[in-house]
Structure 1
Amino acid sequence: MLFWSVTAVLTLVVVATLVRALVTGGVSDRPPAAYDLDVYRDQLKEVDRDLARGVISEPDAERARTEVSRRILAADAALRKETGSDRTARGAAVIAGASALVLIGGTYAVYLQLGAPGYGDLALKDRIEAAQIFRTNRPSQADAEQGVPDAPPPGDVAPDYVALVEQLRGAVQTRPDDVQGFALLSQAEARLGNFTAAHEAKAQVIAIKGDAADAADFSEYADLLILAAGGYVSPEAEQMLERTLALDSGDGAARYYFGLMMSQTGRPDTALRVWDQLLREGPADAPWIPAIDAQIEDMAMRAGVNWARPATGTGRGPSAADIEAAEALSPTERLEMIQGMVAGLSDRLATEGGPAEDWAQLISALGVLGQLDQAAAIFANAQQVFGNDPRAMDMLNRAADRVGLQ
């Protein structure tokens, strides 16, 4: 309430100042012709005083009175012209009123569009801390599923298929160790839109496999948990994503969902970094690319980043022409070329940022050049940027190990 009160008072002060300037036309309330009249009247009195003292003669006094009177008439006409036009005053009032409405309405419309009504000012450290608290205390998988309405059955499923699924449900109850049966049941339930039953069957698959469960199993399980929760990434789903990425740091679906989880818990900056890298890696027909395309511009706006869409599947390393040119150089010239490329990469990351691969490449290159102090500084900076991204930190740690920083 205090914010709206302060902004309302400041806006009214600005509007009042502008309206007064438009209506009055200036700081002074008197037009210039009024001052001219005062001067001419004083001149008439001065003529009479000079005549009384005998300084001028009667004919000279008469001629002076005639000239001053003519000036008075001209100034009076000008004064009437300046102050006697109600139409001009009404026009100025209309302009002032319209300007006030545009200023007040436009200001608050822009704020409602770009601002955050009801939220206080938060420093970056406070925002990150608040996001971490929200992430820790967010609803569980069970709570999230309770809030999701039951989905209607797909219209393209034949009754015979539904009957087969019913038989499969009964069959796995009599064979609790049938991993193939539970895997088929999980797929069948997902096709019917029964995502809760699907992830329960998938959990049985993972339990039966034990240590043999691979990254694909955990990734599919996380996918089903998220679908059952209506697109919400619960703490249970997050644990499955972490296990997936621990086994396969390149799993695209898990990385997409990890970015989604960060966006849902107040870290759009981390989500943007993860999704931007997925777009760069491609391929263009990956199932997560359309979902990222639909959300990433809004994510960039939330993160306050001036983001540009990358070319899918293209890297930012040296081109074939660069490599060919380097092969024709002497060792000294080649070293100078490498140092120039490293300096350019360092400048770009410092000003524009970039994916974790670029940071790891820079750390490795500095280590090869023997610039370990600078490599350590870059690694420390990268840890601050990617601290909440397990896959990125794994890549950065490997680069630091290779050059002997850890």
Structure 2
Amino acid sequence: MTWLPIIALAALTFGIAVYALKLPRSLWMLFAAALLFGLAGYAMQGSPDLASAPAAGPSAQQSETGELLVEARREFYPDTALPSRFVVTADAFARRGQFEHAANFLRNAVSENPRDGEAWLALGNALVEHANGQLTAAALYAYSQAEEVQPGNPAPTYFLGLALLRAGQPGQTRALWSELLEEAPADAAWRPALEMRLQRLDALLGIGPAPDSSGTGQ
């Protein structure tokens, strides 16, 4: 009987999303699939008949990192370019800090469609996080594939730079991001955000404009 409230809650959530929040019809299947996937995961790993108890799992920081990575990745894609169902499911795992599960779904995504640049990019991010910030050979390959199938998208280079920064190579990060800005169109939607992040990196590295020698401000 404990499953009935869970199923009812899932149905209620879907109804609210569709009728109250006006979820577009094109997203109904994706949203329903995410709910069903959540129920399936709970069925495999949960025990609704047992009393609640603390369990080991991803830290709050890992979950926050996953959420930020998903949001940052989507900044490089228009809202009309929806990710595949595998990427949507992988993002749900990433937001919970479960990067190994996310990577497994993303491997399915690129196996089904090797031309899915966003899936390759998300796979690279998941592999880096699963390796505790290390840029592994598998992650580097995923980033290179993302760049190959979407050569006009700056996201693979940006996230490669971010991975290098976490690996303790800020100089290489700065070189990659500076080159991106030099080649970016002046009206690129992502340009202001990258400029801001490069300025923050310069501040951390102690790089800034030359001191004013005119005597002002003294």
TM-score interval for Structure 1 and Structure 2 normalised by the shorter chain: 0.3 to 0.5
- Point out the structure with max Rg over C-alpha: 1
Alignment TM-score, normalising by the size of structure 1: 0.28
- Per chain length, whose mean CA-contact separation is higher, i.e. which structure has more relative contact order (CA < 8 Å, sep 6+)? 2
Alignment TM-score, normalising by the size of structure 2: 0.47
Could you say which structure has the higher helix fraction?
1
